[in-house]
Structure 1
Amino acid sequence: MHTLEQLRAGALSGVQRLQMRGGLTEFPREIFDLADSLEILDLSGNALSSLPDDLPRLRKLRIIFCSDNQFTELPAVLGACPALTMVGFKANKIRTVPPASLPAQLRWLVLTDNLIEELPAELGERPALQKLMLAGNRLRALPAGMAQLHRLELLRIAANQLTEFPAWLPALPRLTWLAYAGNPFCEQREVAMTGTPSAAIGWEQLELKQKLGEGASGVIHRADYMHDGATEDVAVKLFKGAMTSDGSPLCEMAACIGAGAHPNLIPVLGHLERHPDGAHGLVMSLIDPDFINLAGPPSLESCTRDVYDAGKRFDLASTLEIAHGIASAAARLHQRGIMHGDLYGHNIMHCGQGRTLLGDFGAASFYDPASPEALPLQRLEVRAFGFLLDELAERCDATAAAEPALARLRQLRDACLHASSAARPLFDDIETQLRTLKQD
C-alpha cells in the first residue's frame, strides 16, 4: 500500500504498480509523475466518482482497478488509454457503460455488483476479450454482438435480470467457465434445487473454533458439532450474504447440497439454522490437513489459467488418480443438472496419493438435464477439464514404460479441448476412459 505523502515526496519514482486507498475523493495529479513507469494502478476502496480527461498520459498503464468507489458511469476516458487491457470497477454504482469506455485491446473486464441494465453493442467488437465479469447487475439481455467474442473464456452473468438463456453462448468456441445462476430464466430450476433435502443443524449445536480460511463468499471455521451425545470435529462455512464475483452465495449453498454424496466432493452434513444474525451456512466434514490446493488461481498475467508451484510434479499413478476423481465428481454434478462453473486446479484439493476433492461451488449454475442446452453446457465444462489434463500431463514424471499411458492421456486432453464443442466427449465417457487407463 502506498500513501499520498510518499507520492508527493517523490518517493515512488519509477514504480510499476501503485496502490492507494483511504478516502480519496479526487484523482491525485501527482500520479502523472509516474507516467514513464506505471503499469498497474489500484485506486480501489476510495470515494472517487471520476477520472481525469488526460488519463491517457499514463501511456504504459495496462491495468486499472477502481472497485469500491462512487462511479455511476464507466469513465469514457478509459477507452483512450493506449496500453490498457484490464479494467476492474467492481462494487460501484455504475448504471452506464459508454462505448467509448472500452479499450481497443480489452482483455479482462470486471463490472460485478453495479446497477447496469444494458451493455453497449460495441462490447462485441473487442476481439481480445477473455474474461468478462458481470454478476450482480440488472442486465435484461446481452448484446447479440457478443457472439463474436471468439476468445472469451470466462463469463460471469449470475444474479442479473436475464429472462432468457442466451442461446448463442454455448457456441462461443473458447467459452470454458460460465456462471449464470440467479436469473429469472433459471429460477424454477434453482427453486427445485434449493428444496433438495438436507439435515438442519442448529447454531446451538455448534461451538466455533479457529478460522480455517476465507473466500469471496464466506468464512470457514473449525467447530465442535454436538449431536447424539457425542462431539464431532467439523468445518462450518458462514456465507457473507453479499454478492461475489461469481454470483449469489445462496446459489452456492444450493449446489453444495444438491450435489449429494460423492467420494470426490467434500461431504455436507447439513445446513445451518437459527443463527443469531440470520446468516446462512453449511456444516461440512473436516478435511484432512494433508490435503492441499492443486494450484494457485490465475494471475494478472495468466488471466484464465491457473498458476502452479514451480516444482509441482506428479507420478503417473497420482496424475491418473487426480484426473479420474475429478471426472467422476463432474459426471455426478452433470447427472444432477449442476454445472460447477469454476472447474480449476485451484478449486481442487489433493493429498500425496492423488486422492482429490472438488470444492468451491460459488460459480455453480443449474440446468435441466433433459433440456436442449444441457449437452452444450456440459461440453463447456469438459473444455475446462481439458485444461486440467493439460496441466497434469505437463507436470507428470512418467517412466519410459508408462509413456504409452501418458500419450493416451494427452489424446483425451486433445479431445476435451476440441475446437468443435459437439466433438468433445461427455464426463461419463471421460470417467470410463480414465478408469480403464488406471487399470491397464
Structure 2
Amino acid sequence: MGNSALKSHLETSQKTGVFQLTAKGLQEFPEELQRLTANLRTVDLSGNKIEALPASIGNFLQLKSLTLNSNRLTALPSEMGKLKKLETLCLSGNRIERLPPTLGQLKALRTLNLSGNQISEFPLGLGTLRQLDMLDLSRNHIHSVPPEVSDLQAIEINLNQNQISGLSPEISRCPRLKVLRLEENCLELNSIPHAILSDSQVSLLSVEGNLFEVKNLRELEGYEKVGPPSTSSSRLRLPVPNASLFVLSTWNDSRPPRRSLPEAPPISTCRQNQLQFNSFSPLSVVQ
C-alpha cells in the first residue's frame, strides 16, 4: 500500500477515531498508528498478513474495539492487558496457541472472539472479566473444559468444532451463562453433566454432531425438569437442524424446521467414523 493512501487513512482516523485497513497485504502492525494513540477508538486490520503485535499496542488507551481476524498471529503481547477500555477483541482465523495472563486485566471486555485458532487448552484466567458477554472458542483444538470454567461471567460460550470429550460439571455454576454451544465435538452422552439440565441458568444447549443422538438426552437425570423443546413448560431449548435430533409427537408445529449447513473446517479425528450423526436429511415431524 502506498504512503499517500496510508496518509489519507491516518488523516481520516484523526477525525473519526476509526482506523480500518483490511485485506491490503500488511505484514506488520502500522507503526504510523502510534501518532493516534490519544484518540483511536476502533482499529480493524482484518484479512492481512500480520504475524505479531508490537508491545506498543498497550499505548492505545482509548481503544474500545480491536479486530484482527484472518491474519497470522501466533501469540499476543502481555501489553494487551493495558487496554482498560477495550470492549471488543476479535482475533478469529489466526494461529494463536495460548493467551497471555494479562488478558484477564481487560475489565471492560464484552466480546472475545478466538474462533479458528490453534488453542489446545481451555484458557484460564478469564473469570476476572466481569463484563464479558460472549466468548467464542469455536474451531480450535480444545480437549476438555476444566472446573475453573465456573468463574466465567459470559452469557454465551461457543465451543463448537473442538475435540472436547470432557466437560466439568462446574460449568453449570457459571452465574450468567444462558447459551452453551458444543456442536461437533467428541462428547459421549455420559459426558453431559446432569446439572446443566437440572441446576443451571442455561436456556439453550446445542450439542448436535457429537458421539450420541441428541434425543437420548431424555435419558439423563434432570431432563424431566426442563421438558422437551418447543413446549410451554420447557426452560431448555435444544436446536433441531438434523435427523439425529428430537422427533416428538407433542410437537405440533406444522412448518418444516429450518436447517442450516455446517461450517467447513476439518472434522475432529474422534468423529471421522461417526458421520451417521451428521446426516442433514429432512427431519420428519410426527403430528
**TM-score range relative to shorter protein:** 0.5 to 0.7
Change in CA separation of 1:6 and 1:58 when aligned onto 2, cut-off 3 Å: farther
CA distance in 1 between counterparts of 2:257 and 2:176 reads 23
Structure-2 residue corresponding to 1:16: 17
Aligned residue for 1:116, secondary structure, equals coil
Change in CA separation of 1:146 and 1:188 when aligned onto 2, cut-off 3 Å: closer
Aligned residue for 1:31, secondary structure, equals helix
CA contact (8 A) 1:124 1:143 kept: no
Aligned residue for 1:87, secondary structure, equals strand
Superposition pairs for residues 377-396 of structure 1, below 5 Å? none
- The match for 1:330 among 209, 230, 250 is 230
TM-score of the pair, normalised by structure 1? 0.43
- Please, what is the CA RMSD of the aligned residues? 3.8
Structure-2 residue corresponding to 1:178: 180
TM-score of the pair, normalised by structure 2? 0.64
| One-letter amino acid matched to 2:119 | I
- The match for 2:149 among 118, 123, 146 is 146
Aligned residue for 2:19, secondary structure, equals strand
Task: Say which one has the larger Rg.
Answer: 1
Superposition pairs for residues 64-83 of structure 1, below 5 Å? 64-83=66-85
- 1:38 is displaced (CA, Å) by 1.4
Q: Which deviations, in whole Å up to 9, do the C-alpha atoms of 1:331-357 show, x marking residues without a partner?
A: 49x8xx97229xxxxxxxxxxxxx999
Change in CA separation of 1:115 and 1:331 when aligned onto 2, cut-off 3 Å: farther
CA distance in 2 between counterparts of 1:137 and 1:113 reads 6
Higher strand share: 1
Any stretches of 5+ residues in structure 1 without a counterpart? 190-246, 260-326, 342-354, 364-440
Change in CA separation of 1:101 and 1:172 when aligned onto 2, cut-off 3 Å: closer
CA distance in 1 between counterparts of 2:161 and 2:65 reads 26
CA distance in 2 between counterparts of 1:338 and 1:3 reads 52
Q: Which deviations, in whole Å up to 9, do the C-alpha atoms of 1:170-195 show, x marking residues without a partner?
A: 33232112210111114899xxxxxx
Structure-2 residue corresponding to 1:118: 121
CA contact (8 A) 2:164 2:185 kept: yes
- The match for 1:157 among 159, 174, 195 is 159
Higher helix share: 1
CA distance in 2 between counterparts of 1:108 and 1:26 reads 24
Change in CA separation of 1:76 and 1:101 when aligned onto 2, cut-off 3 Å: farther
CA distance in 1 between counterparts of 2:88 and 2:167 reads 27
Aligned residue for 1:174, secondary structure, equals coil
Q: Which runs of 4+ in 1 moved over 6 A?
A: 355-358
